[in-house]
Structure 1
Amino acid sequence: MLIYDDTYSWEGWGGKLKLGSGQCRMKIFDLDKGKRQGLAHLKPIIVVVSDLPRELSWTPNQMTVKSCASHIATHVVREFNIDPERMVWVEHYPATPEGDRVRYPVEERFDEATFTWREEGALQGGWKPLSPPLAALVKKLLAEAPNPKEREA
């Protein structure tokens, strides 16, 4: 079940300069809620984050999701009261839109960020591609999620 779907803003650590602050697109799914049937998931919370397109409120000090993953994850876990040991953090990189004239087009990609959790928050462990079954589940969840424009109507 989709429990959050919006632009997420996080505070940085740079005081007035707001270094490390930014915004991203974020969806949070809780597989323990809703009508899902089948196997229980050891990590039922799936957080999917992606960078906003540069033309949408991009500022000179805007940080990317990848560059601030542990900082953002720490804020999200605290704000949404998520048990980090039961969460999968997924970074979504959309494919280059058809017709875009870019030198190096990219294909859609989903990476799992791994963290070591301490009392003060997340420490970045690394990234790995999602396993094929998890990637298929995430794609299905994203496809089934209502479009934000449809919800406003």
Structure 2
Amino acid sequence: MSEKILITPEGYRKLLEEMEDLQKNQRPAIIKEIEEARAKGDLSENAEYHAAKEKHALIENRIAELSRKINNAQVVDPATVPKDRVNFGCRVVLYDVDNDEEIEYMIVGEDESDPKNGKISINSPIAKALLGKEEGDEVEVKVPAGIRRFEIEEIK
């Protein structure tokens, strides 16, 4: 049995949309490309055919990966998550002690991670250090650039 994958409703919706696009649009289009390339004759030297077959394999692999993720998804609505401690789905306002700045992150699933837009994976070093902590707690996080120190200002 596979491990559950935590994901927000928005992230789950995006996985479903990608799956639908792959199955209803991209897969039929690539199958048509393969048929058209096959009709051109000698397959051993047909670059279009080989490229289309390779693209088809990538699409099928992505469909299988998405299917696994969708089937193992545990959708967590951030609105229902307790805000007394840092949990999956929480927004956390941090004070970066070393850079004297305030940062806000939302802790999301791996597929939803987008650090530039304030969404960090539950498996990232910062999220792992924050999980279970309370407002006012200080944490030290080992990141590729060294050690960063944060104080949790607010959990929302």
TM-score (norm 2): 0.27
| Greater strand fraction, Structure 1 or Structure 2 | 1
> Quick one: higher RCO (CA 8 Å, sep 6+), 1 or 2?
2
| Greater helix fraction, Structure 1 or Structure 2 | 2
